[in-house]
Amino acid sequence: MASFHILYDEEDTELGGYFEACKSDLVRFLGDNLAGSPISELNASFDVATLDAYLRGINPHNYLLIAYSHGDDSSLSRNGVRYISTQTNASLLINSLFYAVSCLSANDLGPEIIGHGGHIFVGYRRTFMIPLDYQEVSINCANSGLHMFILGQKAGVAFESMKAFYTTQIDRLMQFGAIIAASLLVDARESLVFLGDADLAITDFP
């Protein structure tokens, strides 16, 4: 059964609540649809050395890693500390399917991880904004690709389903006249990047 390793920064003063809500949504979805699958939650208390050791322990085999935190072109960060970076430990993400709900990380970090033997990277190439009245919609969109992958779609198909889900939610928001919120989802959808092997499925991550 696939193991899920979830990094999230619940202590971030600005977006901690959003990151934690994303994590909780995923855990809930797994409980409902893939009961019994091992879930490791790594919250803001981990340090980089511990994380590196942790990754070395799981990376000989295929694994699923999801991160909800701040990011930039080349790294993910927590409290100003880069915990995954092109400069240090991107190579440890060999054999991973890595989904990063983080600004900008699809630009340099994603390609670096794939270059080091990561199977799949999904992330965003721009900064994103969150519609405060529609945070739940934003979270559902952010996790929708994972949901589809968990339910059995191959990675590439799940990614397309994710974009389609975004589109559905955009149309819903437009029905409510929530133009700006809809425009933020369009921007997030257009910012999405998929790298790696589109034919992998959850059964390839035992």
Partner 1 sequence: MNLDSTQIVVIHDGLISTNDPLLVELRIRFGEQNVEYFPSSNPGLEYVLANLSSKMVVLLDVNFSHGEKSGFQVFEEIRERTSLIYVIMITANDLNTLRTEDLITLVNHDAFAIESVASDYIKIISLVDKAAHQLEVRVASVLEQWINLRSPDEQATQFIMTSDGTKYTLGDLLGEIRQQSEIGMAVERNILVLAIDLLTRQKEKLNG
Residues at the interface with partner 1 (CB under 8 A): 12-15, 18, 70, 103, 127-133, 167, 170, 174, 179-184, 186-187, 190
**Residue placing its CB nearer to partner 1 in the complex, 159 or 205:** 159
State the nearest-atom distance from the C-beta of 130 to partner 1, in Å. 5
Q: How far is the CB of 102 from partner 1 (least distance, A)?
A: 9
Give the residue with the Cβ less far from partner 1, 71 or 118: 71
* Beta carbons of 140 and 166 less than 8 angstroms apart: no
Nearest CB to partner 1, comparing residues 71 and 110: 71
State how far the alpha carbon of 119 is from the alpha carbons of 9, 39, 79, 91, 202, in Å.
Answer: 24, 20, 28, 12, 12
The C-alpha atoms of residue 65 and residue 184 are separated, in whole angstroms, by: 26
CA distance 166 to 139: 11
Cβ at position 148, least distance to partner 1 in Å: 21
Of all helices (H) and strands (E), which one includes residue 159?
A: helix 155-175
Nearer to partner 1, 6 or 15 (CB): 15
CB 41 → partner 1: shortest distance, Å?
22
Stated as kind and residue range, the H or E segment containing 203 is none
Q: Which is nearer to partner 1, 151 or 186 (CB)?
A: 186
- Rounded to whole angstroms, the Cα distance separating 46 from 9 reads 10
Distance CA 82, CA 105 (A): 12
Please state the closest distance from residue 111 (CB atom) to partner 1, in A. Answer: 21
Rounded distance between C-alpha atoms, residue 120 and residue 96, angstroms: 7
